[in-house]
Amino acid sequence: MPELASPGFLLRSATEKDVDALSELEQQCFSGDRLSRRRLRHWVRADNRVFLVAEGEGCLLGYVLVLLRRGTRLARLYSLAVGPAGRGQGIGKALLSAAEDASSRTGRLYMRLEVAEHNSAAIALYQQLGYRTFGSYANYYEDAGTALRMQKRIRYRPENLHTVAVPWYGQRTEFTCGPAAAMMAMAGLDKSYEPNASEELALWREATTIFMTSGHGGCHPIGLALAMQRRGFNCEVYLNQTGPLFIDGVRSPAKKEVIEQVDADYRLSAVRQGLQVIEQDFTQEQCHQWLEEGALVLLLISTYRLDGKKVPHWVTLTGMDDECFYVHDPDMDDEDNPLDSQYLPIARQDFAAMSLFGRERLRTAVVVKRY
């Protein structure tokens, strides 16, 4: 970013030459939950962040670090620090405002942050800048303190937001995104349903395709829907192709035969169990209608825009507005922060491409309702 001058200090992008001074600021400003020198150097070099410093009289007075979640419209304030020499000059407000502007110019619509519930000075600053509390997270800090979750729309456009309160559950294995997404939907529709590790594996055993591109098999949409119906939920599956799913992901003829058999068995079970399988594409307008009707939706996406890998991945649709899909992603981000995986905003045009998987351009949705 260009250098921005303010009375008494200058705002500019952080560089590797700043790492020592940044580390010293960490020691001055925080008694725990500090960023190590190694992590500071990592974020200086990274491209999915906004990292600004305030400089005055040849020394660093403060910094702000914002993480930009790939493939989404979400920015998260990761750390904001102002050293003793810079306090009382409006540096924190200037840094955060500049970070909001820089994040907005990357296409981000929302800035989220966590702040200790007893940090009244920081909370007052965030409220002054337009942040609003939308939840809390217990045992968030090293001292087991509670964090308030705050959010601000940093790039306003008219919206017609519809969201559903859905508990988040993180997948415990690399191959159980489908069960985790299914459990979130069931828990959102039935408050007495409690997701757990045993149920996660049970759902996977009932819905797995046996084989996938490599390693353990993923979950078939019909298999997931059948498993949820057994647990008292009413499901229907939208599927834009009639042939066996995921068969292009394996090379072995023997494995292809297994996948074909599993696919045929699921389709036969759907007929016998009265599960409706609609072999056609669905629209974003239908997704909005399903939410309005009180349903939740499991969607299969390709993770390419999120992590650069072409891997099938299940998420739970929890909200929509005129510009974004909001999803619960059962896989946590690189910083292992579950808060960044909840109500994750993804632009509609991005989701249109993200929800097509593989060479066959598979698009599928499982609509889940209570009977």
pLDDT above 90 covers a percentage of the chain that reads: 60
Q: Are 124 and 168 within one domain?
A: no
Residues 182, 112, 68, CA angle at the centre, nearest 5°? 85
210 burial (CB, 10 Å; 0-12 / 13-18 / 19+) is middle
Q: Are 115 and 248 within one domain?
A: no
* Mean pLDDT, residues 86-107: 92
Read off the CATH number of the domain in which 147 is found: 3.40.630.30
Residue that terminates a domain, selected from 97, 125, 156? 156
The pLDDT confidence band at residue 115, using thresholds 50, 70 and 90, is: very high
pLDDT at 31: 84
Task: Tell me how far apart the alpha carbons of residues 319 and 338 are, in angstroms, rounded to a whole number.
Answer: 18
Is the pLDDT at 42 greater than 90? The verdict is yes
The pLDDT confidence band at residue 366, using thresholds 50, 70 and 90, is: very high
Q: Are 205 and 291 within one domain?
A: yes
Q: Are 188 and 50 within one domain?
A: no
Q: Are 223 and 281 within one domain?
A: yes
The pLDDT confidence band at residue 336, using thresholds 50, 70 and 90, is: low
pLDDT at 335: 59
Q: How far is CA 338 from CA 11, 182, 334, 343, in A?
A: 31, 17, 10, 11
The pLDDT confidence band at residue 6, using thresholds 50, 70 and 90, is: low
Q: Are 117 and 223 within one domain?
A: no
Q: Are 76 and 150 within one domain?
A: yes
Q: Are 92 and 181 within one domain?
A: no
Q: Are 168 and 120 within one domain?
A: no
pLDDT at 158: 44
Residues 6+ apart with CB under 8 A from 305: 70, 71, 350, 353, 354
pLDDT at 4: 58
**DSSP code, position 341:** G
DSSP assignments along 123-151, one per residue: HHHHHHTT-EEEEEETT-STT---EEEEE
Residue that terminates a domain, selected from 110, 133, 156? 156
Mean pLDDT, all residues of the chain: 89
pLDDT at 333: 63
pLDDT at 303: 78
Rounded to 5 degrees, what are φ and ψ at 331? -100, 130
Count CA atoms closer than 13 A to 264's CA, side-chain side.
6
The pLDDT confidence band at residue 330, using thresholds 50, 70 and 90, is: very high
Q: Please say whether the beta carbons of 342 and 328 come within 8 A.
A: yes
Q: How far is CA 48 from CA 45, 153, 350, in A?
A: 9, 19, 17
Beta bridge partners of 137: 147
* Mean pLDDT, residues 124-133: 92
pLDDT at 94: 94
Is the pLDDT at 165 greater than 70? The verdict is yes
Is the pLDDT at 229 greater than 90? The verdict is yes
Q: Residues 47-74: pLDDT tens digits?
A: 999 999 999 988 999 999 999 988 888 8
Read off the CATH number of the domain in which 221 is found: 3.90.70.10
* Mean pLDDT, residues 297-312: 79
Is the pLDDT at 358 greater than 80? The verdict is no
Q: How far is CA 335 from CA 38, 134, 229, 254, 341, in A?
A: 14, 21, 35, 39, 11
Q: Are 149 and 231 within one domain?
A: no
pLDDT at 307: 65
Look up the domain containing 337 and give its range.
163-370
Q: Are 358 and 212 within one domain?
A: yes
Q: Are 192 and 96 within one domain?
A: no
Structural domains of the chain, count: 2
Residue that terminates a domain, selected from 156, 183, 212? 156
Task: Tell me how far apart the alpha carbons of residues 303 and 350 are, in angstroms, rounded to a whole number.
Answer: 12
